[in-house]
Structure 1
């Protein structure tokens, strides 16, 4: 057992499950992003002041950040990369929301959150690599 682990034996038992849990959180985050955009488009019809943050998406963001920070305590290198990707996507979400409000004030049609979607795809691809590596590990070890 690694003495620097945060939760001791629990970390060793849940290492594999945490990666799959984070993979699920990323997928939930992407779905809530779609739902948030649909909600913002319908709210924009009532004016820029009617656009509010979509609470399920904000909750999914917070859970994803906490999950990435917990993964940082288990896998230091992978957790650091994942945390930076998740924080980057969170910041992108923050500024995309503000951009939607500006578009609504100018009475333009709302753009899709393209930058946040690309950030989510980076997060998804990295955590899928981390959690599903066991599928390609025999081939990888054969080549490397």
Structure 2
């Protein structure tokens, strides 16, 4: 893809060296988000099974709305969620169409993660089994398909154009 006619973020644009690099960054962040989701789920299951809840300080002061004895969010998963969201907003400044589509998918992942965590907290309070975050996994896979298409299609483009 061609470089944009302007540099909105100046040094950040120069550091990333064009739009192809940010697509790989998005792919890496999304894969990291999926891995941290596994760690977060394992931690929540361990918290529910053992009864000992890991207490962490909230990332943003004043947002400690969890009840005592509730499940906690995994800090690495929170960081990857926020980094993925900010990187998708940055990608929107480079390519409006694909950036808006990807940002919509990432917002879907973000919102799904938020509500599925709250659902797991309710399951924990009612002594139900903690289920895996199926909705967030599905939303992540959909976002992975799209960002994979954006970043990796150039490698199969010659074969694809020969067939289609």
Equivalent in 10, 13, 21 of residue 25 of structure 2 = 21
CA distance in 2, matches of 1:118, 1:28: 15
Query: Which runs of 4 or more aligned residues in structure 1 lie more than 6 Å from their structure 2 counterparts after TM superposition?
Result: none
Match of 2:9 in 1: 7
> Gaps spanning 5+ residues in structure 2: where?
54-66
Range moving further from structure 2, 86-95 or 68-77: 68-77
Structure with a larger share of its residues in helix: 1
| Residues 1:90 and 2:110 aligned together | yes
The separation in 1 between residues aligned to 2:106 and 2:119, in whole angstroms, is 20
C-alpha change, 1:11 and 1:79, in structure 2 (3 Å) is: farther
TM-score of the two chains, using structure 1 as the length reference: 0.90
2:27·2:147 contact (CA, 8 Å) conserved in 1?
yes
Contact 1:11 1:74 in 2 (8 A): no
**CA distance in 2: counterparts of 1:14 and 1:4, whole angstroms:** 11
Paired residues of 2:16 and 2:22 also in contact (CA < 8 A): no
Q: Which residue pairs with 2:92 in the alignment? A: 72
- Note the C-alpha offset of 1:129: 0.3
Q: Number of residue pairs matched?
A: 144
* 2:146 is aligned with 1:126: yes
Supply the distance in 2 between the matched residues of 1:132 and 1:2 (Cα, whole angstroms). Answer: 20
Superposition deviation, residue 13 in structure 1? 2.4
CA RMSD of aligned residues (A): 2.0
Contact 1:23/1:128 (<8 A) preserved: yes
2:161: which partner in 1?
141
Match of 1:30 among 23, 28, 34: 34
Gap regions ≥5 residues in structure 1? none
Distance 2:29 2:137 in 1: 15
Q: Is 1:111 aligned to 2:111, yes or no?
A: no
Distance 1:96 1:54, change over 3 A: same
